[in-house]
Amino acid sequence: MPLLAHAGDAGHASRCEAIEHARNYLAKMEPSIEGQHGSNRLIKAASVLVNDFSLTDGEAFDLLMVEFNPRCEPPWPENLISRKSDEAKKNPPSRPA
């Protein structure tokens, strides 16, 4: 069962809110399109989920697969989504303090 299905089971309203905000953010993002810096868009999407919304690896992966990937041309294989999420987590964007 996907991790997102368990997010509300433990009664963590703030966790559910973070996932919903992340879902809404992804819906507004441009999809990843081959030949148009698609890899950069996937990394940005993953980075926002793990670094800004503080989602777990599983939550981020599930959202990327369900909310972002279907709009991508072509859709990303699962192993590359996982790898890009790892890259985003290991190299968070630098932001002013």
Arithmetic mean of pLDDT over the chain: 84
Query: For residue 21, what are the CA distances in angstroms to 4, 36, 80?
Result: 13, 26, 24
- Give just the sign of the alpha carbon dihedral 50, 4, 38, 86: positive
Q: What is the pLDDT of residue 67?
A: 96
Contact of 87 with 43, CB cutoff 8 Å: yes
Tens-digit pLDDT profile for residues 31-60: 999 999 899 999 999 999 998 999 999 999
The C-alpha atoms of residue 88 and residue 31 are separated, in whole angstroms, by 17
Average pLDDT over residues 19-31: 95
The C-alpha atoms of residue 21 and residue 39 are separated, in whole angstroms, by 23
pLDDT at 96 over 60: no
Contact of 67 with 20, CB cutoff 8 Å: no
Q: What is the pLDDT of residue 95?
A: 56
**Does the predicted TM-score (pTM) go above 0.85?**
no
